[in-house]
Structure 1
């Protein structure tokens, strides 16, 4: 059983891939079960991610499915090895929703994270002051201890981007830049930070301008993840007030990948976005003086 007694993101990703390759090979579950000398129920549980696959099982199944690509095989074997691995975030598990833990797991595994947000600066780009304003401004009443835990988690999530561990692309609506979410001081600090982090080689920040019109309403906030050297979107998460949902079906992933591409092409270039952010920052400073 995956860690925590529930399917993990990694075991689900592995299971979905094994199911896809089995179906492409035109084998049914009983035939796959014979390959690893197991029951059909085990194949079903492997493909649903409710049990962790052993590396030898993955190798035998991929042989039977005719999967020869060494990169694909290495990637799936890696998922099998680490499907039960406990990351740093598990020390905060008592304070986090299961869906949020899944989101952090995807962040930690991803080679490229793409994020769109029409309302807020995305969490991976937030200053501590801005994050505190977001957390305290929510509908739920949080204890000081719980709030500090959430802030610490957000800070630790940002470390991988700061260290260049993943490529990160964000698109935000101009209204997020234009209108302060909290105090003027907090907003100015956030805009300055956005300019600074946007200079990192692994980070791209773009602003979707007001004149993009109805495109803003066409896509709710989401984060899309690619893994290893793959550029294709392999998972998407969406958050609301109470939960985090994960999109993994290939058809839906194509829609989100296309949506992000459209947002990027409709947004200002990274250079023009930085100029806009700088002008907004200067305008707010002048108005506050």
Structure 2
């Protein structure tokens, strides 16, 4: 019995199957016509990473399409991996998690290194529960109290990546405006204390982008770049947008994200300077 694909391999396999099909001028109907157990809808779901595929079914599809040699080996190599870390499926409110956010959570669970930047808030992986509730409640979709509670709990559970093996190598950037905007003074005070504590983890780097960086350093939206242990030179990008984080999967998107983070890094305070700025703000608040 074959193992389930990890999230990143499932996405890559779907992307590669679709790319091969389009490069060879095949429609979904062309690829599945006459193939027992297959339909255009099933192949479409696999290409969009909404349905898994095992080794036997992949072999049947590749045989039917006439894929051989190195191309076939490349497809089959994507089937290796352990089970997906879909920990949120057991939560009471799992049904509130959208497919897009589920994809993000699955990839975050698989990632070995994450670069994260938010212009106006502390990164989600270092937020306190109270701060998370405040941020979620301020969202454009005006979530009700139950959704705020659920969203905050998921955000806190995600933070196990910073403490449980294998620990995540995390670099988080945030804009100085995060220190200036808060609905509750106590909430911000506790959040800053927590950020200082988390910044001391050996595998966490926290850096603030000061307002003095101006437009070159302060991005208009958040961005996340994930790296994975099976292919550390590749990555997966999410860009902040109304309603959530939009995924960007191509190599060009990854290179663009790398350039973006290189620019942010140039304007950001060092980790030591960041802690000093946080401590100064803490004195002001207390």
Q: TM-score, normalised by structure 1?
A: 0.76
Q: CA RMSD in A?
A: 3.4
- Unpaired runs of 5+ residues, structure 1, are 1-7
Cα pair distance change 1:239/1:199, threshold 3 Å: same
Q: Is the 8 A contact 1:219 1:259 kept in 2?
A: no
Residue 138 in structure 1 maps to residue 143 in structure 2: no
1:58, 1:77 within 8 Å by CA — same for their partners in 2?
Answer: no
Question: Given the superposition, is the C-alpha separation of residues 95 and 232 from structure 1 closer, same or farther in structure 2, using an over 3 Å criterion?
Answer: same
Using the TM superposition, give the Cα deviation of residue 191 of structure 1 relative to its aligned residue in structure 2, in angstroms: 0.7
Alpha carbons 2:239, 2:246 under 8 Å: kept: yes
Answering whether residue 70 of structure 2 is matched by residue 65 of structure 1, we say yes
In the TM superposition, residue 154 of structure 1 has moved relative to its aligned partner by 1.0
Q: What is the total number of aligned residue pairs between the two structures?
A: 264
User: Where in structure 2 are the equivalents of 1:165-180 lying within 5 Å?
Assistant: 165-177=167-179, 179-180=180-181
Corresponding position of 1:52: 52
Q: Is the 8 A contact 1:19 1:47 kept in 2?
A: yes
Identify the structure with the greater helix proportion.
1
Give 3-state SS (helix, strand or coil) of 1:49's partner.
Answer: coil
Distance 2:138 2:46 in 1: 41
Alignment of 1:220-231 (within 5 A): 220-228=221-229, 230-231=231-232
- Structure 1 CA distance for aligned equivalents of residues 57 and 207 of structure 2: 44
Task: Quote the Cα distance in structure 1 between the aligned partners of 2:280 and 2:137.
Answer: 28
Deviation at 1:141? 4.1
Given that 2:85 and 2:106 are in contact with CA atoms closer than 8 Å, whether structure 1 keeps it comes out as no
Paired residue secondary structure (2:284): helix
| Post-superposition CA distance 1:153-189 (Å, at most 9, x none) | 1111111123252111111112213x14122211111
Consecutive unaligned residues of structure 2, counting only runs of 5 or more, are: 1-6
Q: Distance in 2 between matches of 1:16 and 1:105?
A: 17
- What SS is found at the alignment partner of 1:207? strand
Question: What residue number does 1:89 align with?
Answer: 88
Aligned to 1:270: 271
Name the SS for the 1:77 alignment partner: coil
2:10 corresponding residue in structure 1 = 11
1:14-65: CA deviation from partner (whole Å, max 9, x where unpaired): 2235667x69xx98879xx8xxx98896877655535423235668979822
1:4 match: none
| TM-score when normalising by structure 2 | 0.77
Report the Cα offset of residue 104 of structure 1: 0.9
How far apart, CA to CA, are the structure 1 residues paired with 2:141 and 2:152? 15
